[in-house]
Structure 1
Amino acid sequence: MTIPVLHTERLILRAPRLADFEHWATFFASPRSIHERGMMSRIDAWRTWASDVAIWQLKGYGPFGMDDRETGAYVGEVGIYHGDDFPAPELGWFVVPEAEGKGYAAEAARAVLDWVRVTFDWPHVTNIIDPANDRSIALGLRLGGVIDSTLPGVDPGDVVIRHDLRGRA
């Protein structure tokens, strides 16, 4: 399977690399991850990251590593996640601390939404967000999504934001 490379004005979205895991493990060892999947040990982070990466081979979609086009620096991850406990494919993201507040997650998520729209025949994709994660909820809504309480999340109380793909241009 060939993982596509997506380009935005400032980013390159590409296949995950083993070096990305160090950033991932650092993020998920920090309190910043509490509203993402929760803090986890390095071994649990490895298992989760490796299973996310394997989604590409198993389902034809998954996470992209995000690199700054100008510097080549890794700035985070964005993509479609679909673990066994997820009710459907979910658009998710995170950025490393030094990349926060620069709009990278929004820029990358828009590119992924456009890629999903032309690649898959899905009526929508969701964000499944911890209700305490105000920044991610705000981003999901800025991306044009709407909160849909009829769609299931992963954990009780999750905020589920639906992004309709049929009319997206």
Structure 2
Amino acid sequence: MAGAQELGRTDTGSRIIKAAPDVIYRALIEPQAVASWRPPQGMRGEVLAFDAREGGIFRMAFIYEGDSGHGKTTDNADFFDGRFAELTPGRRVVELITFESEDPNLAGTMRIVTTLGPVDGGTRVTVSCENVPAGIGQDDHQQGIASSLENLAAFVEV
């Protein structure tokens, strides 16, 4: 099925976080918060531009701690540009992400949909990454999503 291949794969992660949806939503759209929780374990984040409004753009870097040699843009860093396609306060954030890389396996635009749903004792946060570039290993990406959700929980839980 050629159409399915063109759409790329989807990686998803979910976690119940002990915080209200509005608190989590703020952590999704405030640059200092995003720089703190979004990089997975073994990386740190830098926000280079951030305009949190529908249609607003952002630019970030994830920098590997130590000498990894696994970066998508440089030996030890992943730079990416994004746009906020949808912002629904307390409920949903949709981002369109493009990695800066010479590798054609990292080309294309990945769509990240983060949904927030109230549950007993907190909020179910689900992250769905659609059209994941082939150059991003699925196991590594799933671990990265889980790590970012763990970081988000640590950032917002009281």
Please classify the TM superposition score into its range, dividing by the shorter chain length: 0.3 to 0.5
- Name the structure with the higher strand share: 2
- Structure with more contact order per residue of length (Cα contacts < 8 Å, sep ≥ 6): 2
Normalising by structure 1, what TM-score? Answer: 0.31
**Under a length normalisation based on structure 2, what TM-score does the superposition of the two structures give?**
0.33
